[in-house]
Every structure is written in structure tokens, then in C-alpha cells.
Amino acid sequence: MKVPAATVIGLGCFTGQVLANQWPYERYYPKTNKQGDPVADKAQPEFGDQDRGPENQFGEWLGRLVNQGTVAGLQDIFTDGSLPKHPSFDDIWENVKTPEVPPNATHATRPSSYKATWPQNEAEALLGHLPWPLDQRCTASKDQWWYRTYDGSCNWLKNGEMNEGMYGVAKSRDYGQHHYADGISMPREGPNPRAVSNAFFKRKEVLYYEHTPFLLGLVEFIMHDITWSSDSRDEYIDVPVPDDEKDFPLNTTFRVYRTEAAPETGTSRENPRENINRATTWLDLSSLYGSTHEVAMKLRSFKDGKLLTQEVKVQGSKKAASYLPFNSMGVPVQTRPGVSPEALFAGGDPRTNEDWIMLGVHTLLLREHNRMCDLLKAKKPAYDDEEIYQTVRLLMSAKFALIGNAYQMAYFKDMPWPNDDGFPLYREMSGSSWLEINPANNYPWPLVTKEGKPTVVSAEMAVVYRFHEFIVKTFPIKDALNNTMWDQNLFATAFNATGFIDAGLENIMRGTVASSIPNFKSGVEEDFRSAGKYRGSPFDIVVWSIVHEREQGLPTFNEYFAAYNKGNPGQEPPEVQVPIRKRFEDFSSDPKMVAELKRLYRNPDEVDLVVGCQLDETMFPHATIPTSSLIISLFSLISMGNSDRFSIGFAAMRCLLVDKPWDCHPSNALEELLWKPVENEAFPNARFYDDYWMAELDFQAHGQNLLWRLVTENSEINCLQKNPLFPLDEKTNPLLCALPESGVDIRLLLSTGVEVMLSLIKIHYVEIIATIAAVIITVWLYNKINAATRGYPKVLGGLPFLGKALDFQKDAKAVVLEGFRKFGDRSVPNVFGIHLASLTHYVISNPQDVQSMIDDAPYAMKFSLSKLFEAVNMPIILRKVNFASNLHTNLIRTHLGDPATVQKIGRTMQAAATRFLETNPLVPATSSSHVYSEGLTAYINQYITSVCARCMIGPEAYEHPELINMFLEFNEEVDKVIGLGSLLPSWMSFIANIPMNKGYNKFRKVFLPIIAKRRAEVEEKKQLNGAAAGAETGDEFIDFMSFILDIVDDYERAADLVTITVWIGLRNLQITLLSTLLDMIDVPGLADQINSSLSRPARGVKADLSTLNTFTRTDSSPWALLRAAMFESIRLCGPASGPARIISSPHDLALASDPSVKLPPGQVATLSSFYSHRMPENYGPDAKQYNPQRFLTSGPDISSKEFITWGLKGPHTCPGRWFTQEAICIMMKEVLERYKFEPARTGLDDDEKYEYHAGVVTRKEVPVTVWKRSA
């Protein structure tokens, strides 16, 4: 059984877990146990009579409405037109006045559940009361209106308007205002955004704390639920820092991408630019479930309605619990450079991994969904997976709306009763009483419609509702004993899913309810306002807001509130007015702020909307939030919630205001659950509130306790303050505790058994260790004696089973050099082995043995490349059918081994390189230089991938900029899969198959439409020309896809081959191009010398495509010095091991240099490019030094034993080597002509340049300043 544990945490939290199916409000005030820890005191239940539970505030509210007679028709439902005081649900039902004679049925009798037998006209019958015709696209299928759709469509059912609030449509404008500079799409002008940020948004010295970080996480999650303005692919605004900048170098530029434009907008003043909302506008938890069918399907388990999870037992927890799954299914996620999307959590919103506090809320909601699935399955055993999932989605969104009610109350001070029914804002805004405005409303509610349409998220709300002041610098990570394990920097939690698991949800949540956040007017935390890097670039969260306000053409502060003060058409002006600021002094009473306004803006009407809200010193009546901010944000949010057809408020009133309890016909699955059937022969459709679900939704307290329950019912935190959004206060916000679980916990028993076993091991560890050691030593001695007896070379053994694999992955060069130090001098043939998991790699360096491998290359009798490829998972990486046929290699060898084709594709390379450098300049247009403090690798990788994609795919690559990151991620996965090949036995290769299949499927989605389009174009050309149309000819830009489509009919295989060829191009260029550039600039003056040789050749021959021939070398070529430097860099950046082959001889293979030394079959024979290319025997006494003129007068003998970068001479020499040389020369020329480079350090040695991993070499980053060359 679970042992009750009560240990102090935070400002009033301790561990334990509440039963999921107990009465929701069985909680107690704490007492102190003998150990001094607070525990639940059963003698002090929160409500006095714990069996009865809390006072039914919903019943009280309904009774007042009925007795006051303020809602038309409501009194007619009840006997004597009234309800008793303090009514329970049973009391309310007992007072329902049923007619003496049942009326004629006006609706079809409701089927028992979601079945295919639903009548086609049911929507018209159930929703016929709506004041407009229904959209037949929605009513044709019941799952379109009975449940929520994934994309938010069909929530608003008015004919022709089904897309209101839907994913992928343009955001609305609160008052139809568009203030573009040209009236169409050009961003509104204003002062430098960074200067504005520095002036008005710096963190204040005096901060006022009133809320916990839990509020920050909740605000973030709500905003991600209703709005996401995705970035434009190619439109951006560069913001230089002002001259008085103190935090960034003066050459720093913030690049802010414009928000994605809605299609077919921005064409005229009558049709100005709008921006797309990539989330549904409803409070439907789309951040949890997804806003598209594709994402939603990938997040489901398809078992009992539940979402996918991973079960993890984290530090300090008692048992495993659910966390978000890692993104193995490939849903869209935002990340930062160096973090693979697969290493992040999968969620319904791409921003899921932005910080741990929001992830804490997300994880709790994930667990709550699955908990609710268990509850619904127990209550509705006939429901299948789909019914459970869809119904729980509605229940969860209902809970979330009620949590939103609790959330809005966090901003209020004292307020007249009832301040917790969700409508105090409306009452204040209109100056009405609770009798006039309350939740007893029919759908659609006119107060929340604008010009006959529902309130949906607006562009203004999406920008203003960010509340950046709430962001904290750090928050504590607390264990179950209330110890602060560490103070966590919030900025550092971005895109760190593994760190979230390591820290543990409970430890994170304890910190979020045990600390405080700044209040409004506090300014923005500097870690987010002056971040050195965020997703790879300098970052200021305020600059982003200001730029987005302007580039979306939003109104200024005065422009917005001038429209607001007039009110919506057909409605009275709001009671709460916002004065227009006629003078700068009207914005602020602070002389410093007024002075800054005058310095930056020409007149008050130009002051940005977010700036005016930031400076607003008036508070909304009875609230702690500035008036202007609340109107744009919170008021709009609540209006959106009450525009939702699935609103819990409308569901709760369905059979009181639309139908009657004795003739009740729910119009969606949530209503069906809340209104349970009541047996009555005279009234077969009688229904009334299901007290189980009403209690589960916390209707008795208007949802005020749902946050407390969200934590206690879904974590090991058993006690925390009543309202977790506020700090603990003994009187106003006391600590409340739930009882721990009772009963036998099988997992606890098993863990106890493990502890017993571990105890036995502890007692007898000497005997156990001795036995294990004896076995290991015996096996080791046998292998060593056997190897020595048979004449095998000496081996670096390392760890049992793994050998040196882990060390080799970390630093391959160090392991190889260790072998040479230990065995090279004492081994006549200079060969030794390295034990790497399932294989031993024998490093060969003797020229006779290397030549033996070269001589065998055409026959593969002794050494097999294909078997090595199998061992490192190449059939998985390349797909088995391609690996078996070697079609990709044959295509590359045929076409990219042809000088004319390579020269022609050079034109494509040059155009692609020019386009990339012009659209992604190394130095912003507004600057003369730029500092790359983290080096050039990320930029060069993007450059390489973009050019390769264009050369291999065609012009369509430009239409899919996402391909760049897709290929870079694919390349990282390949590295992992190759690594797995050396660590896992062959029968476990399916593990490596998973990420590869996922990667290919992602590429197919992009390439299949392109291929279909290409094929259609070819057919059209055939019809027009009467001849076959294959690869492009003449002077056109050509691409490799045309060659693939000429011989591959199957679309999917063609798509896979395109993927492979782009990846091979990226693989060959990734280290070679980068090294060529970095080695050049490491020698002062060399890059300028090479650029001069290209731009001003001595013999008057231009360095253009006509003079570039990578197949032959001539001293007179203007490309000669660049080519020589390229080959020298390629020589020095070779990997620590490779080229390699599997020893395929059926018997022990005698070495050519010393036949007494043998290599065992089935193991690996490998060269070392690193070692061979630095041998004085091959390159003289300066072999280890970079000499850019080494290959100026004589090129390397490619694939000879002296130059083995592209493999061994023979049929398996790298077929793309000519393409690689062409690309390096062209891409380097384009870069050198535009820029000069100044690295922070020069004269680097090998250890300062390279990092060697298993089969991969990378360059160590060096900060570089890049300067524009003068024209």
C-alpha cells in the first residue's frame, strides 16, 4: 500500500497523491506531525461537514435568478416560480414543475451514444433555435457539430461562416483598423524598436510581487491555445541597436521575421494585408491536442481515448508518472540550433518546449486528460476509444474555461458578489448589476458578438496579451523536503526537454507555487530583453512585440482607444473609457518617461500601442491590471470564451433556457454528459444535471478550485495553497491538504522487493562482485590467449562488451593515437585493433597493406565495402531497395562524373549561391560588419544545404525553405544511426529504422507533389514537341532530379532518391567547405590573396564557370590558388578512421607487410585519413602544417594511398568528388568576393581546429568578425 508521506515544500506544499475518484473536495487543513511536517488533519475538514461537501454556489446563484425573476421563462420551470434557500441539485430537480400532459415532441429522440445510425436531419432539429440557417457543410456529418473539430471549424454554424475561429484563417481586427505605411502592407513607421525597449521596458529596481509563477505558465499556455502568428519564410525586418546601446555590441542586429500573410491579402487599400492565425481561436486546448487532424492523430494512443505519454520515474518521486512523449512522431516543434526536434517534447503547439513553467502546466493537463479518460470509461463502459477521446476533449475544454474563470479572478481586488461567476468584467464594462448580466444566457449571446459574428482572437490581442512583466529571471527547484535544490534560470529552460524530466514535474511545480513573480509595471526581465542568443540569434522580446505591432499595421495607442471609446456598431459605448493622450505628459507621471517619449516620438498619436499600455497608470475598476491592457487582453479572452458554442455556460443552461428538463435534447456530447436521463414514463426525454460530472467540473464553486485539483490529482504534491496563483497566506489563501492514497500499491510492493534484493546484494556484495569479476577475467583471458596464439594484432580493449566505443564516439582521434602510442612502435606491420562494441577495427598504416586494400578494391575478395555499409546501417539509411541496386551511386557516377554536366550544373550552383547570399547576407544591409560570436558553422551549413537542395531538386526547393532544417536534422539522425550500427547487434537494427522511416516520410510529403508536377510538365512537353523530354538541356539551369525521373517510375522511390542525393551532397561538403574557409582566414592575408587571384588574374583569364574544370589541373587557371587551398584543407580535415572495409576473407587474412600477422574475418580493416595525411613519408616534414600552396603546382593523386579522403582508388571511389570540388570553388568565390573575415584567433593547430568523433570530423567554433568588401 502507499505509505502516507507528509513533508514540507515551498510555501505550503508537500508530497502525496489524492485518489482520482474520490469526492473532489475531500481536503483538510494541516497539522504538524511528530517530525514537524504538516499533514492533513482529519479533524479539520475544509467544509466542516465533509460528507456534504462545499456549499453549492451554483445552486445559490440559480436560486437567486429564479426567485428574482430576471431571466424570462426561468420561473415557469419551477413550482411556485421559486427555489428554496441553499438548494442542492436534488432540491432543484424536486422543484421542477413538469406539465400535467406531456407536450408533443418537437425534437427527435436522442440515440444513446455516438453511432452510425444518427439521423441526417438531427442537427436541424437540435439546433433549429439558432437565429440563422445552418451551414450544410457542418451538419452533413454529426462528428462536425456533435464534437469539436480539430481545426475549430463548424463551431460557428451560420451558413457561409463555418470558418470563424478556425485554424489558418486571418486574425480579425478589433475595430477594423489597418495602419500600414502605404495603406496596404508596408510596416507602420516608428522609432527604433530597441531604443523604445531600452527607454520604457527595462526591469525596474523596485518590483511588486502578488502572484506565483504558476500564473505565468497559465498565461503562456492560454495564449498558445488561441493564437500563433507563424513567421514568414522570407520577409524580415532588421533592427540595428541604437548608438547609445549598452548591452550589445554596436554592430548587433535583431532580425525579426514578419508574420505570415494571409493568402490573397495585401493587394490594395481595399484589401490590406492580414496575418494568419495558426491556432484555433477557441479555448479548446489545441496546445494539448493540436489544431490540425494530422497533429492530433500523431498525439493519440488510440487506446481508451488517451494521449501518448512516456512513463518516467524521476528524481525524488515515489513512482513513474506520465510526461509528454519525445517527438518521434514528427509533429512541428520550434527548437534552437543544436537541438534536434526529436529531442523535444511533442505537443499540439510548435512552441510546446519554450520553458519549463509552461511545460509544467502542459504536463498536468496531459495527465488530467488521461485521468478523465479513466473516469469516463468507468462511467460509460460502452464508449469506444473515439467517443472517450472526443468527449474528454469537451470535458477538458470545459474545465479549462472554468480554470480561466479562476484565472481572471486573480486580477481582481474586492468586488460585489458574485465576483466568481465569470462575468464581473462585463458588469463593470457596461455598468450593470449581476441581475442584468450573468451566465444565464442563450447561445449566441449578443453581448459577445461583433457585427453578428463571434468574438475571435484579434491581431491586437495577439500582440498586447503577452504580459512580459510576469517573466522571472529564476525560480526555485524544490524537493519534497522543501529544500531548494537549485535556482533555475528560466531562459535556460528553453528547448530543454530532457532537463525538464531530470528536474521532475513535482520539483518544478513546488517551485512555481512557492515563489513570486513581478506585477504589472515592473519592466521586462533582462534575460529575455537582452538575450545574447535565442534560437540562434540576438533577442529582445520587446523588440519582437513592437516590430510585430508595426509590421501588422496595428493602430497606435490613441488610434485604438479612439475607436474603442465609441463602442461596437449597434452597442452602447463602454462604461469604462480610456482617455486619449493629447500630450506626452498624459501617458505618464514620471518625468523620465515623458522625456523619453518626447525624444523618440514626434507626437502623442504616434506612440505605439504596446508602449501606451506599458505606461498606463490607471487600473481597471476593482482590479490590479492596467485598464488598457485588460481591455485588449482579458476582456477579449472572456468574450471569446462566451462566443464558443461548446461553452460550459451554455451547456449548463441548455435544458433550462432552450429545452426544458422534462423534454431535454442535448445538442453536443458535453451537454449529453451534463444532463443525464431521468426515468419518467410520461416524459421519455427527461434529463437533469448529473451531479457526478457537475462536481467533477467544480460547478459548486464556479471552478475556483480546479487549479488546486489539477495539481493534487495529477502529481505527488498532496498539499498546496487554495489558490495556487497567489502566494500562501494563512488567512486569505491557506494551505489545504488531500488525503494520500490508501490500498495496496503493487508497484510499491515491487519496488520494496527490489529494495530487499539490493539489501541482499549490499550484504553479500563481496561474494557477488568476486563471482562477476572471475567470469569477466576468464572471458578476457581466453580472448587474449586465443588472439595471441593466432597471431592477431594487439587490441585496445576498453570496457567489457563496449570496448572503446564510448571513448571513440567522444574523441576518435585520441583513441587512434593511443593505439599508435601503445602498439605502433612495437608492431612490425604498424597495425593494431580497437575494440568497438560488436566489432574490432584494425588500423592499418603500412603502405604495403594499404596498397593491398587498393589492389583488392575491384574484386572485394579480401575486403568488402558493402558489408561494412551493412554493419553501419547503410541499408536503413539509404533504404534497402536503393542499397541493393546502388542506383543512387550509378546515377551520380554517370552524370556527376561527366565534365560537361558538372560544368552545366555549376551554373545552377552559382545562381543558388548568389541567391542565398543575397537573401541571407552574412552582414546585414544596415551594417558594415557583423560579429559571429559562436562561429560560422551554422551559417555555412545553411548555405551548403540551400545550394545542394537547389542543385538536386530544382527551383521548387526555393518554395520549401523548411527543407534546409529538414536535411540538417536528417544528417544528424544519420550520424546517430551509424553510431547505433557499431553498438547494436544486427537483429536490433529495427531501432535505427524508426527515425529513418520518419525522415523519409517527411521528405515524401514535400517531394511527391513536386515529382507529380514535373511528370505533368514532361508529358506536356512531349505533346507540344512530339519528342521525349527528360533532363534539361541547352543553357538552362539543370538539376539532378531530372536524371532520377528519367529512369525511376515509382514516385515514392524517386522521392527517396532525391532525399539521398541531397544528403550525400550535404555530407561531402559539410566539413570540406567549412574547413576551406576557416583555414584560409586562419592565415592573415590569404583570403584576400585568393580573392585577388580570382578577381584580377595575372594572365588576364577570368575566374568564371568557363575556366573552372575540376577534372583537370592547370597552373595557369585563375582558380588554381583556390583549388590548392581547397585540397590542402581537405587533406587535413580527414576523419580519424576510414576508409574502412569488412574483412571478407573466409579465413584469417595475412598482412602483405608481415604474413605472420593475421586479421580475423568479419572484423574491420580501416585506414586513418588523419594519420596518413600527416605522415612525413607522404607529405614531407611539414605534413602536419597547413600549406595552401602545397597542391599549387601538382594536384593530389586522389584515392591513392597518400590521399584517401574520397576513398580508395577503384570502383568505390567517391563518385561525387567532382561535384564537391565544383561546389567548393564556386561557393567560396561568391563568399570571398563579398566579404572579408577576421577571426578572433589565428595560427591554430590541430587541437584548436578539429573535433573527431566516430567517422565524423567537425570544426571547433572560432568567433569571427565579417566585413563587407567595398565595391
CA angle 43/46/50 to nearest 5° reads: 70
Q: What is the 3-state secondary structure (H, E, C) of 561-612?
A: HHHHHHCCCCCCCCCCCCCCCCCHHHCCCCHHHHHHHHHHCCCHHHCCHHHH
CA angle 1259/1262/1265 to nearest 5° reads: 130
Backbone φ, ψ for residue 1074 (5° rounding): -60, -45
Helices marked H in 1083-1119 — which ranges? 1086-1095
Q: What is the 3-state secondary structure (H, E, C) of 361-414?
A: HHHHHHHHHHHHHHHHHHHCCCCCHHHHHHHHHHHHHHHHHHHHHHHHHCCECC
Q: Are 179 and 159 in contact (CB under 8 A)?
A: no
Q: How far apart are CA 648 and CA 425, in angstroms?
A: 18
Cα-Cα-Cα-Cα dihedral sign, residues 810, 816, 821, 823: positive
Backbone φ, ψ for residue 691 (5° rounding): -65, -25
Q: How far apart are CA 416 and CA 1165, in angstroms?
A: 84
Q: How far apart are CA 409 and CA 705, in angstroms?
A: 12
Q: Are 1032 and 1041 in contact (CB under 8 A)?
A: no
Q: CA 1164 → CA 20, 487, 801, 842, 852, distances in Å?
A: 57, 49, 17, 6, 15
Locate 846 and state its grid cell.
603500412
- Single-letter code of the amino acid located at 724: P
Q: How far apart are CA 912 and CA 947, in angstroms?
A: 5
Known binding residues: 468
Half-sphere exposure of 33 (CA within 13 A, CB side): 13
Residues linked to residue 163 through DSSP beta bridges, in sequence order? none
Residues linked to residue 1264 through DSSP beta bridges, in sequence order? 932, 1239
Residues linked to residue 1165 through DSSP beta bridges, in sequence order? 842, 1141
Q: How are beta strands 209-211 and 517-518 bridged, if at all? A: antiparallel
Q: How far apart are CA 824 and CA 844, in angstroms?
A: 10
**Exposed/middle/buried for 743, CB within 10 Å: 0-12, 13-18, 19+?**
exposed
Backbone φ, ψ for residue 78 (5° rounding): -115, 150
Q: Single out the residue of 1246, 1245, 1228 nearest to residue 1237, CA to CA.
A: 1228
Locate 403 and state its grid cell.
480554470
Locate 470 and state its grid cell.
510576469
Q: Within 10 A of 567 (CB to CB), how many other CB atoms are there?
A: 12
Instruction: List, in order, residues 6 or more apart from 221 with CB less than 8 Å away.
Output: 287, 358, 361, 362, 365
What 8-state DSSP symbol labels residue 158? B
Helix pair 541-551, 193-200: axis angle to 10 deg: 130
Q: Are 393 and 39 in contact (CB under 8 A)?
A: no
Q: CA 11 → CA 477, 707, 729, 760, distances in Å?
A: 13, 16, 9, 40
Known binding residues for heme b: 468
Q: Would residue 830 be called left, alpha or beta, if left means φ above 0 and alpha means ψ between -120 and 50 degrees?
A: left
Residues linked to residue 735 through DSSP beta bridges, in sequence order? 721
